[in-house]
Structure 1
Amino acid sequence: MPVSASIAVPAVVLAAAVLHAVWNAMAHRIPDKLVGFALINCAYTLCAAVLVCLTPFPPPGAWPFLAASAALEVASQLFLLRAYQLGDFGQMYPLARGVAPLLVAVASVTVLGGTLTPLQGTGVLLVSGGLAALALASGGLGRARLPAVGAAVGTGLIIAAYTLVDSAGVRRGGDVLSYVAWLFLCQGPVLPLIALARRRRALLTRMRPVLGTGLAGGVLSMTAYGLVIWAQAHGNVATVAALRETGILIAAVIATVFFREPFGRLRLAAGAVALTGIVLMR
Structure 2
Amino acid sequence: MALVDELAELAIEVAREAGGLARLRREEGVAIAATKSSIADIVTEADREVETLIRSRLAAARPDDGFLGEESGGDRGESGITWVVDPIDGTVNYAYGIPAYAVSIAAVRGEPAPEQWEALAGAVFSPPTGEMFHAAQGAGAWLSGRRLEVNAHPSAAGALLATGFGYNPATHAGDLARVGRVMPMARDLRRIGAASLDLAFVAAGRFDGYFERGLQPWDHAAGALLVIEAGGRFVRVDLADNPDRPLFVAAGPGVFDELLAATASP
Q: TM-score, normalised by structure 2?
A: 0.26
Of Structure 1 and Structure 2, which has the larger fraction of its residues in helix? 1
Q: TM-score, normalised by structure 1?
A: 0.25
